């Protein structure tokens, strides 16, 4: 099984600049060993199971909760597929191939 999770999570009660809080979440994801890609609007993670993906979401929330965040916004999108792995990069490579873009 392959689970792609795209999510964003940040406090809404800590002012306009929340990068310090988000960086704590990204550090946890990096240290989890899961493949991930940071984007300007969220983070994409690939895990082997749905419980693993959801555990990362819960751990992210706990980090913000422990940092004193009283209100947290989050959005999640999941793409769950039996069988294949390495889909995070594979999906991008497939589209690039179809448009004739060679990956460097």
The CATH number that applies at residue 53 is 3.30.70.930
Quote the number of domains for the chain: 1
* pLDDT confidence of residue 92: 83
* pLDDT confidence of residue 26: 98
Which domain covers residue 7, as residue numbers?
A: 2-98
The tokens for 49 are: 């199971």
Q: What percent of the chain has pLDDT over 70?
A: 97
Q: Would 104 be classed as within a structural domain?
A: no
Report DSSP state, residue 13: S
The tokens for 65 are: 């909760």
Q: Would 56 be classed as within a structural domain?
A: yes
State the pTM of this model. 0.87
Report DSSP state, residue 67: T
């Amino acid at each position: 099984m392959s689970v792609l999770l795209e999510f964003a999570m940040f406090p809404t009660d800590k002012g306009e600049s929340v990068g310090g809080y988000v960086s704590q979440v990204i550090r946890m994801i990096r240290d989890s060993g899961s493949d991930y890609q940071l984007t300007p609007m969220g983070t994409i993670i690939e895990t082997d199971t749905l419980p693993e993906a959801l555990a990362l979401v819960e751990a992210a929330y706990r980090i913000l909760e422990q940092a004193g965040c009283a209100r947290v916004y989050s959005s999640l999108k999941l793409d769950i597929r039996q069988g294949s792995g390495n889909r995070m990069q594979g999906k991008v490579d497939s589209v690039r191939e179809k448009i004739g873009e060679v990956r460097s």
